[in-house]
Copies of this chain bind each other. A is one copy, B any other.
Amino acid sequence: MVGMTSTSAAAPRSPGRPRSSRADEAIVEAVLDLLAEGGAVDSLSIEAIAARAGVGKATIYRRWAGKKELLRDALRTLKGAPPAPAGDSVRDDLVILLRGVGRHYDPRAVKIMPCLVSEVNRSPEQRRIFEEMSEPRRRVMREVLERGIATGELRPDLDVEVTLLLLTGPMLMRQLLGRLPERDPDELAGQLVDAVLAGLRPR
């Protein structure tokens, strides 16, 4: 549950008070609950997190160096591993990847992510957390585009970074602004990929 961190036996422990992974989970859950209830990332306090998790502040500080590290771990648990494209056709792989844009397994993410996005331009720390969350997915999509250029499925002069923005922007805006609510998001992902592949000009 706690993503990139672990309570492995190699980690130093305070004798007599072993780290509790139950407490770790409760702390991470408290952070996500407080954020989902509308708490701004900046105003979240260790006191409030400890109270919500039913632990002492010392328990949090034994496990995380500070709020920054705790937030990063908590937000990481919202996103699972990036989807693995099948590798058969670039079109199908892009559809799979677009279906995952803005999709989260934790229902609290729907409330938390737009707020985090709105803070990205205010705080370098929020930007770093957001980039750490999105970069693994961006890397997979970049690889699919580069493969498509190599196989000739895509134009050789394609601008990969512009194409990333072109493909992910509409899906993120759909979710952030609730555009085209009547369309099934999975179908929309296919429509967007096909429109971008074919282009708007008649052939």
Q: Give residues in A with beta carbon < 8 Å to B.
A: 38, 110-111, 114-115, 117-118, 120-122, 127, 130, 148, 152-156, 158-159, 161-163, 165-166, 168-174, 176-180, 188, 191-192, 195-203
Contacts and interface: CB of A to CB of B under 8 A. Distances in A.
Contacts of A179: 165
Nearest to A153: B201
8 contacts: A114-B118, A120-B178, A159-B191, A163-B200, A165-B170, A169-B174, A196-B200, A199-B199
Contacts of A170: 162, 165-166, 169-170
Q: What copy number does this chain have within its complex? A: 2
B115 A176 contact: no
A120 B115 CA distance: 11
A41 to B, nearest CB: 12
B178 A121 contact: yes
A38 B196 CA distance: 37
Contact of A168 (B38, B127, B173, B180): B173
Contacts of A163: 195, 200
Nearest to A154: B200
A177 B178 CA distance: 18
Q: Which of A114, A120, A122, A188 neighbours the largest number of chain B CB atoms within 10 Å of its CB? A: A114
Nearest to A117: B176
Contacts of A198: 155, 199, 201
Contacts of A199: 196-201
A7 B166 CA distance: 44
A150 to B, nearest CB: 13
Contact of A203 (B130, B177, B203): B203
A163 B156 CA distance: 24
Nearest to A161: B180
A179 B179 CA distance: 21
